[in-house]
Amino acid sequence: MSNLDTMSVNAIRVLSADAIQKANSGHPGLPLGAAPIAYELWAHHMNHNPANPQWENRDRFILSGGHGSMLLYSLLHLFGYGDLSKEDIMNFRQMGSLTPGHPEYRHTVGVEATTGPLGAGMGMAVGMAMAESHLAAVFNKDEYPVVDHYTYVLGGDGCMMEGISSEAFSLAGTLGLSKLIVFYDSNRISIEGSTDIAFTENVQMRMEAFGFQTITVEDGNDLEAIGRAIEEAKADTERPSFITVKTQIGYGCPAKQGKASAHGEPLGAENVLALKENLGWPSQEPFYVPEEVYENYRNLADEKAETEAAWNVMFAAYCEEYPEMEELWNQYHDTKAAESLWDDETFWAQSEKPDATRNLSGKALNYMKDKLPNLFGGSADLAPSNKTNMSGAGDFSKETPEGRNLHFGVRELAMTAIGNGIMLHGGLRAYVATFFVFSDYVKPMARLSALMGVPLTFVLTHDSIGVGEDGPTHEPIEQLAMLRAMSNFHVFRPCDAVETAAAWYSAVTSEKTPTALVLTRQNLVPMAGSSRDALKGGYVIDDCEGMADVILMASGSEVELAVKAKAVLESQGTKVRVVSMPCMDLFEEQTEEYKESVLPKAVRKRVAIEALSDFGWGRYVGLDGAYVTMKGFGASGPAAQLFEHFGFTVDHVVATVKGL
């Protein structure tokens, strides 16, 4: 290892320590210990171009241990990504800075994924590797490997403890994702002390069982050994690789290295000085980096730019020889492609007979698959029930990576992280699916979808007590309120084919907002008044003459119930407006004028009807309204009996209105 390499590694350490000390907040342990891994990878093995962070064929790097964010920010600054300045480094963890406590996608140039929840980056990395494998199978030609890049992910003991990592890696091994390379920063320390108190398994044997090539680097400061391990990983074209690098947390700081106290608190001013002295750093000045180090990083960045330039030449020749593939490439990368569905009357057609919205969703999906060839998704072992299989599109597997149907297995949490990774990669429009009740397992990674502004689509079927005989364990009650509570997340519960089409249209045209389609198992009657106004989130689906005496509000399967109750109430002299509310989130995005036109404040008698929790309806029901909703968990029995038992009947709705 040259002296310049040593100084370049130590620059990462010093910048990290200084930034964390100035902020008086942060996690120095990982950057100090893992700096050699990051430098060797970024400098000598990873294809990337700081001058074009969005180059399609760049290698991806995800810092799964997001608490070690200063490692990533130091790299981005030194390589010249997005003009991330020394001042930005000095503003680490400060309000409005480009260097927040954990890396944030869309916020800092060069950050490929928002990480922080441990293990999440591992799952997203698997999704990126799946995307690369599929796109390579679709686009590559002999002599033209236009999609040919690796996904690298770095995490530590905490990431490997989290169940999401095992879920994701089990699938990665099954799929033979040979362009996935995982770095395990093995320092045997967690916040509470030695990992021996809670984590004594043989991680390498676990990864071997998953189908990974396993490699160990005994000395985390040995750049040559790290480099050899990376090249050995690349040489295995059948399996993903797992590189254990034995590091020392807080390396270089005499008072802190190897100790739990190095993990999540500043080193202390005296210890930062001791670190610099121990590393032989030429200055004690905070944030000092020698010009020769900056020059080394600039030269490396120039070399990286040449790699992209060579790819650009190849891609131009590819497009000239295969113009049809260039057209397909542009279609895959056109974020506006789905908007053509707006003028497609077949897509918006009403169903001719009662049908479950899960079935209607499946029909819409299979119609879209030919219009949007980059649709790529599947279910957590429930595709026949979720109706998410794209007919004739093939199954994505190690043997057939060109297939578009994904089989996640019973892995809802990892599935969602993988879906995020597919979307983050670019070029594909992903969807994931499970039963609605299991959105409890989905939620942590769905939250990351919303935070990142990643428009992943969630198909969530079996949406209420309509599940019937499976009973309360499989009957979602509070889950709709949970998802509605998230910012930047659209939850659709459509009532028929038109509203289901609207839900899908909103999902596949969204640029920064994920969408959940909450769908029925039981058949629903086509509603005469349903329309594309569902895209406004709430609209009048059945109105009365003049001003209404009462407004009935419902979503999904209960819209029909509201319309039937309206007929009875009007026969008794009560004027009723029925509002379908398929997506509260979109309704809240409308103008105040529009919301007033749908829910006029003058009409204070209102009833919310929904076979789920009433939580969230209060803003529309008001003080003078009432609810026909679930007050507890469901039960096991035929669906029709359950709806009657829990009060989802015309008589009960009418009585509720009369009681206002």
| Secondary structure, 3-state, 511-547 | CCCCEEEECCCCEECCCCCCCHHHHHCCEEEECCCCC
Contact 625, 607 (CB under 8 A): yes
| 88 has binding-site annotation | no
Percentage of the chain lying above the pLDDT 90 cut? 100
Long-range pairs of 80-84 with CB within 8 A, sequence gap ≥ 24: 80/50, 80/51, 80/297, 80/298, 80/301, 81/50, 81/53, 81/109, 81/110, 82/53, 82/108, 82/109, 82/110, 84/108, 84/109, 84/110
C-alpha span between 3 and 296 (Å, rounded): 12
Computed over every residue of the chain, the mean pLDDT equals 98
| 27 has binding-site annotation | yes
**Fold for domain 337-518?**
Rossmann fold (3.40.50)
The 429-435 sheet, strands edge to edge:
405-407, 375-379, 429-435, 457-461, 515-518, 490-492
| 187 has binding-site annotation | yes
> Tens of pLDDT along 390-405?
999 999 999 999 999 9
| 118 has binding-site annotation | yes
249: left (phi over 0), alpha (psi -120 to 50) or beta: beta
Closest to 610 measured CA to CA, from 651, 555, 653: 555
The dihedral over CA atoms of 531, 536, 538, 544, expressed in degrees to the nearest 10, equals -50
Residue 294: how many other CB atoms lie within 10 Å:
15
Q: Which residues are catalytic?
A: 412
> Tens of pLDDT along 464-503?
999 999 999 999 999 999 999 999 999 999 999 999 999 9
Contact 562, 609 (CB under 8 A): yes
| 117 has binding-site annotation | yes
Closest to 358 measured CA to CA, from 469, 484, 497, 479: 497
Task: Report CA torsion sign: 462, 370, 583, 438.
Answer: positive
C-alpha span between 561 and 608 (Å, rounded): 11
Task: Report CA torsion sign: 250, 255, 259, 263.
Answer: negative
Per DSSP, helices labelled H in 176-251 are: 203-210, 223-235
Closest to 33 measured CA to CA, from 189, 153, 162, 181: 189
| 158 has binding-site annotation | yes
> Tens of pLDDT along 355-372?
999 999 999 999 999 999
pLDDT at 1: 62
pLDDT at 428: 98
Residues forming beta bridges with residue 552, ordered by sequence position: 578, 607
C-alpha span between 601 and 620 (Å, rounded): 10
pLDDT band at 319 (very low <50, low <70, confident <90, very high): very high
| 264 has binding-site annotation | no
Q: How far is CA 173 from CA 158, 183, 240, 482, 649, in A?
A: 21, 15, 6, 33, 50
Closest to 479 measured CA to CA, from 510, 440, 515, 445: 440
522: left (phi over 0), alpha (psi -120 to 50) or beta: beta
C-alpha span between 36 and 299 (Å, rounded): 18
C-alpha span between 91 and 649 (Å, rounded): 59
Angle, CA of 522, 556 and 584, to the nearest 5° = 155
| 60 has binding-site annotation | no
| 407 has binding-site annotation | no
Widest pairwise Cα distance in the chain: 90
| 228 has binding-site annotation | no
Closest to 558 measured CA to CA, from 608, 513, 521: 608
Element holding 558 (H helix, E strand): helix 558-571
C-alpha span between 327 and 331 (Å, rounded): 6
> Tens of pLDDT along 151-207?
999 999 999 999 999 999 999 999 999 999 999 999 999 999 999 999 999 999 999
> Tens of pLDDT along 29-87?
999 999 999 999 999 999 999 999 999 999 999 999 999 999 999 999 999 999 999 99
Contact 142, 322 (CB under 8 A): no
Contact 541, 591 (CB under 8 A): no
Question: What single-letter DSSP state applies at residue 144?
Answer: B
Question: Which burial class, exposed, middle or buried, applies to 70 when counting CB atoms under 10 A from its CB (0-12, 13-18, 19+)?
Answer: buried
Fold: same for 337-518 and 536-659 = yes
pLDDT band at 129 (very low <50, low <70, confident <90, very high): very high
| 652 has binding-site annotation | no
Element holding 424 (H helix, E strand): helix 412-425
Q: How far is CA 73 from CA 5, 267, 475, in A?
A: 18, 18, 45
Closest to 21 measured CA to CA, from 253, 202, 225: 253
C-alpha span between 61 and 72 (Å, rounded): 10
pLDDT band at 2 (very low <50, low <70, confident <90, very high): confident
Mean pLDDT for the stretch of residues 594-598: 98
Percentage of the chain lying above the pLDDT 70 cut? 100
| 642 has binding-site annotation | no
C-alpha span between 414 and 126 (Å, rounded): 9
| 263 has binding-site annotation | yes
C-alpha span between 171 and 211 (Å, rounded): 9
Q: Is the pTM of this model over 0.75?
A: yes
User: CATH: 3.40.50.920, 1.25.40.850, 3.30.465.10, 3.40.50.300. Which one for 536-659?
Assistant: 3.40.50.920
Domain ranges of the chain: 3-305, 337-518, 536-659
Angle, CA of 44, 285 and 92, to the nearest 5° = 65
Residue 386 has pLDDT above 90, yes or no: yes
C-alpha span between 190 and 29 (Å, rounded): 10
C-alpha span between 556 and 129 (Å, rounded): 37
| 488 has binding-site annotation | no
Long-range pairs of 274-283 with CB within 8 A, sequence gap ≥ 24: 275/13, 275/14, 275/17, 275/32, 276/14, 278/252, 278/253, 278/254, 279/10, 279/13, 279/14, 279/252, 280/10, 281/10, 281/14
Phi, psi of 171 (to 5 degrees): -70, -40
Q: Residues 6 or more apart from 637 whose CB is under 8 A from it? A: 468, 469, 645
Residue type, 29: G
3-305 belongs to which homologous superfamily?
Answer: Thiamin diphosphate (ThDP)-binding fold, Pyr/PP domains (3.40.50.970)
C-alpha span between 41 and 227 (Å, rounded): 7
Contact 11, 245 (CB under 8 A): no
pLDDT at 305: 98
| 116 has binding-site annotation | yes
Helix, coil or strand: residue 423:
helix
